[in-house]
Amino acid sequence: MKIINYTSLVLIGLLLIYASLGLPYRGDAEALVNKEKSLIGSPVASSYYIQNAYKDMNTPNIVTSILGDYRAFDTLGEEVVIFTAGIICFLLLSKERKSETK
Amino acid sequence: MKQSSDSPIILLLSRVISPYIMLFGLYVIFHGHYSPGGGFQGGAMLAASILLIRISAEEKVYELQFKKSFDIPLGAFGVLIFFGVGLTAMLLGGNFLDYHFLPMDWMSKADIRAMGILLIEVGVGLAVMTILVAIYDNLLEGEDA
């Protein structure tokens, strides 16, 4: 059984390495994610952000403007996840809560 | 039960270091527009400065700095700031979280969007700080029981 585990692990690893050979290099101008137009002619998000981030919100840090404005929904979700973790800790471990239910 | 350290050196040193960590955390939050950083990182640093006092001092002392009972309500208030900014923009005619509909007419549209980012970063920082402190406090309470 162990042999099957290890062989499947190695095979999947080799498969992943083989798949990674087909990925474009970082900053490759010919890669689809770095072009200005996608295959159907619509603007690609990353080049739009790079060209318009400073114009749109006067913020030199492009990471902040993407996280805080263009992708604000994602940040809201992250914050709700952290808040949920805190609430769950509170509900599971808080002492007053336990004495109330008893 | 948590044993606070008896050594006055540890307490004095953490009392000296803690405000500077807090100041740097505020800098990371409010300077996020120009340098690496933002709400999450700055909130973690603020939490670190509060937890430093919590580790070194006893409960009577650290309750003076930041009360245990404020943890969860302030965290909820931080999430509410983020959500409220988005909802205000939506009620004033834009999409959800579309900042340039915020009621700040004396600035240009780009500046209003920058200000909206600052508002939500403050909300994120507040929530992260209080939730990290709340997890520490609740773990401590669970240990006692």
Domain boundaries, given as residue ranges, for chain B: 8-144
Beta strands in A42-81 (DSSP E): none
pTM, two decimals, is: 0.83
At B79 the pLDDT is: 94
Strand partners of residue A37? A43
Task: Report the percentage of chain B scoring pLDDT > 70.
Answer: 94
Q: ipTM of this predicted complex? A: 0.86
State the burial class of residue A7 (Cβ atoms within 10 Å of its Cβ: 0-12, 13-18, 19+).
Answer: exposed
Indicate whether A28 pLDDT > 90: no
CA B81 – CA A50 distance, rounded (Å): 28
pLDDT mean across residues, chain B: 88
The distance of B44 to chain A (nearest Cα, Å) reads: 12
pLDDT digits (tens, 9 = 90+) for B82-127: 999 999 999 998 888 888 888 888 888 889 999 999 999 999 999 9
- Arithmetic mean of pLDDT, A59-71: 90
Question: Which member of A56, A58, A76 has the closest CB to residue B82?
Answer: A76
Contact A76 B38 (CB under 8 A): no
Residue A44 DSSP symbol? P
> Between the CA of residue B112 and those of A10, A33, A37, B25, B67, what are the distances in Å?
53, 30, 29, 24, 34
